[in-house]
Chain A
Amino acid sequence: MIGFLIQRVLQALLVIVAMSIIVFLGVYAIGNPIDVMIDPASDQALREALIRRYGLDLPLFQQYFVFVNNMLHGDLGESFIYRLPVLSLIFSRFPATLELALCAMLIATCLGIPLGLWAGYKPDALSSKAIMAFSVLGFSVPTFWVGLLLIMTFAVELGWLPSGGRGPTTNVLGMNLSITSLEGLSYIVLPALNLALFKLGLLIRLTRAGTVEVMSSDYVRFARAQGLSEGKVVGLHVLKNISIPIVTVFGLELGSTLAFAVVTETVFNWPGMGKLIIDSITVLDRPVMVAYLILVVFLFVLINLVVDLVYGQLDPRIRVKASS
């Protein structure tokens, strides 16, 4: 198990190094952030002074080494715009994105798995066909469009829910959360629903495919022959046996939701990390872009690690392989 962990950490470091180089080269190729930020009233001397202040006059490799050196000391740099440490900037946005992503995953899981089980259990029923049609819609309709549609219906026409923003928050364990109050919840419903839609479609299809396959297997027939109730057969045996692909997809989706909720956060004006990265890209705030992408890599590596550990719990054969 420890060997497995060390291997994983080394892989992660390698990916992070590669990523930092790619991002650095990419941002460098776009050009000088000063030219995006600069005020038209400034003259050449001021431009030169700014370029020097940010160390942008140094050759690329030198800039990169300054950055790496700082990173090794736990310092990912300061935002060009806010002059705040990038890490604290990103983490100040993290709770908003985390609760949005978790709410979306919750909606997707609580609806997607039961619906998928039903659609796989009764593949020919009309209701199952309706579920499948809905799932296709779920991941083929663009997120921003569904978001606007939700806003038009529930905020503008019906006036039931707020159209965007984050509402009041309460401090829980040092994080500002909105899910703790009803008013806060009213702000999260629409964006979470919007973000959940794609995952919902995905989970329905995945669960259905697994269920259809497993339903015709020997152990389901034996379980039925044993006289187990249908509920137990489906809820225990079927669900457990189809859960490995679901856990994989769940992990990856959680990661990508946390990292790339950009579209939903933009449409609903949700002050999370996705909006921060978009705002930073539009002004070429290089330290924020680089640090964010490195954190995303780290996040994915971490999630994949957790997914692998959960596999071990679900399927004893994997545990045996890992220990041998």
Chain B
Amino acid sequence: MKLNSKLGGMVAAALLAGTMLGGAASAQTLTMGLRAGPDSIDPHWSTLGSQAEALRHIFDTIVMADENLQLKPGLATSWKPVDDTTWEFKIREGVKFHDGSELTAEDVKFSIDRIPVVTGPMSMTIYTKQVKETKVVDKYTLHVITKAPAPTLPNDFIRLFVVPKSIGMEARNEQFNSGKAAIGTGPYKFVSWEPKGDLVLERFDGYWGQKPHWQKVIRKEIPNDPARMAALKSGQVDLVNYVPATDYAAMQKDKSVDTFIADTVYFFNITPNVKETLPKPVKVDGKEIAENPLRDARVREALDLAIDRKTLVRVVLEGLGKPANQLMPASFFGGNKNLPERPYNVAKAKELLAAAGYPKGFEIDFFCTNNRLPGDAAVCEALSQMWARAGLKVNANALNGTVFFPAQQKGEFPLWMSGWGTLTGEASYTYGSLVHTADPKTGLGAFNKQGYSNPEVDALLQEGARTMDDAKRRALFEKVTEISMNDRALIPTVQLQTVWAAKKGTMVIPPRVDQETLAYEIKPKS
């Protein structure tokens, strides 16, 4: 009995401590419950979006991106091509690092040179692969010399974080994680971090830009969806990101939370394999046939016409999406504003299938992920049912990403759907990888596993890659978008939207297409 009463006392005290903790958070502290976080505090460690999102608080980039991923000045106030292979960056004057030293062009040069030296899992060299060398012209001017004309260099630099030269080339992962080398020019200073745990930040008073509202920021990593939502409702965190569609529906009726919704750069695209032979032949009347029906443009158009995009958005995604007619938002550089909305017409789809020689349709396997982006598996199943109305038998297989991506890379799928985000905000990133003929020599078409090849598209993309004139390049990419979308090289379905939630009436979260949750952009509700 004695033991019991002691235990009871302990539990009661523990309960008390828990409640006090909930109420203790002051108005100056922002606690965020986010789905993913960094793998290291070294800003050149990995190209993962969650890595950049977290480290953007501590480090600044040379070029910054606004909420629609369009370029804006960062640590460089301006940039312009001096000749075909040289970019001139003017570095902002009077910027202080967290250790009090001043930013100069030397630090920017050091940061670019440091990238190939870092041995992270996903090398950032993809952002510097066009760079041949960097030259410091004077204290605030930097010349970047590229291997060939590189019109997209400023876009590459939106993920290029600047660290002080004083940390030295030897600074490794451990020095950053312990905070010793975690010195940036960003709005927040590093306090502490543990892998997959909390990242604690403190406001930097010498910041060159607008002073953020929150004195202290705690970034909690909570990957599990229900756990993250519970953390918000129990008051453990002030806001959460990636609210699942089902919770979003409930939250709209909930008086204790505010929700914020934004378009994302993520699109679900269907990819038809147009190689001579499919990895697994399609069946007509239960018998395998030798030819690949997806090579016929009429069949691809029929697949497209049979998709009811409005229903996908309204029913399957609980309203969290928009019908898509190309692989990225039309407002992005190289997006085509003249493309029409894609119609839904089952009767015409059936006609086209019959004209192509498949009056009774065919049977095909269809693959997608089930844990990569919200709603991926549900959209996949809905699509197979929509195609069934046009007379096709589509076997939908939703796989874990760890199984899906290696198999996709090996070319094991005849027809698949995956999510793709245009993270640089311009067309060459997406169309160059997905639509250009796979060509290891130019490095283009790295993700073109469907065998699509159109010499006209290839020529336009290659010309775009070396055209420095923005207006001309834009026109070239718009043409690429038009041709490849009419060819149905890939079939876009929906653009996803994302939701944040916060305690009612406490703050304003500005929507960003890259889904980043940036504490310094979040303001209290006045």
User: Which of B80-88, B97-105, B116-124, B290-298 forms contacts with chain A?
Assistant: B116-124
Which stretch in A62-70, A181-189, A300-308, A316-324 binds the other chain? Answer: A181-189
Contact between A186 and B18 (Cβ–Cβ < 8 Å)? yes
B227 touches A32 (CB 8 A): no
Question: Is B429 in contact with A160, judged by CB distance below 8 angstroms?
Answer: no
27 residue pairs from A and B, CB less than 8 Å apart:
A30-B402, A36-B405, A36-B406, A37-B122, A41-B126, A41-B433, A43-B444, A44-B443, A50-B123, A82-B195, A152-B230, A155-B230, A159-B235, A162-B21, A163-B230, A163-B236, A164-B231, A164-B236, A165-B236, A182-B17, A185-B17, A186-B18, A186-B21, A189-B14, A269-B224, A282-B401, A282-B402
Find the B residue at minimum CB distance from A183.
Answer: B17
**Residues of chain A contacted by B405 (CB below 8 angstroms):** 31, 35-36
Contact B230 A186 (CB under 8 A): no
Contacts of B406 in A (CB 8 A): 30-33, 35-36, 284
User: How many CB-defined contacts (below 8 Å) exist between A and B?
Assistant: 172
Chain A neighbourhood of B125, CB < 8 A = 46
Within 8 A of B (CB), among A200-223: none
A82 touches B443 (CB 8 A): no
Question: B429 touching A41 by the CB < 8 A rule?
Answer: yes
**Contact status of A47 and B401, CB under 8 A, knowing A39-B126, A42-B126, A151-B230:** no
Which residues of B come within 8 Å of A, CB atoms?
10-11, 13-19, 21-22, 39-40, 46-48, 119-123, 125-127, 129, 173, 194-198, 220-224, 226-227, 230-231, 233-236, 371, 400-403, 405-410, 420-421, 423-424, 429, 433, 438, 440, 443-444, 446-447
The 9 A-B residue pairs with the shortest CB-CB distance, nearest first, are: A31-B406, A43-B443, A186-B18, A155-B234, A44-B440, A186-B14, A163-B230, A183-B17, A35-B409
The answer to whether A267 and B227 touch across the interface, beta carbons within 8 angstroms, is yes
What band does the interface of chain A fall in when counting residues whose beta carbon is under 8 Å from B?
35 or more
Residue with the highest number of chain B CB atoms closer than 10 Å, among A36, A148, A268? A36
Nearest Cβ on chain A to B264's Cβ, whole angstroms:
15
For the complex, what is the distance from the CA of A163 to the CA of B225, rounded to whole Å? 13
Q: Which residues of A contact B438 (CB under 8 A)?
A: 44
Task: Indicate whether A42 sits within 8 Å of B13 (C-beta atoms), given known contacts A35-B405, A284-B402.
Answer: no
Q: Considering the chains assembled together, what is the distance between the CA atoms of A148 and B234 in angstroms? A: 13
Give the residues in chain A near B22, CB-CB below 8 Å.
159, 162
* Interface residues in A229-247 (C-beta closer than 8 Å to B): none
Chain A contacts for B40, CB-based, 8 A:
82-83
Query: Is A80 at the interface (CB under 8 A from chain B)?
Result: yes
Of listed A42, A89, A167, residue having the most chain B CB within 10 A: A42
Query: Is residue A314 within 8 Å, beta carbon to beta carbon, of the partner chain?
Result: no
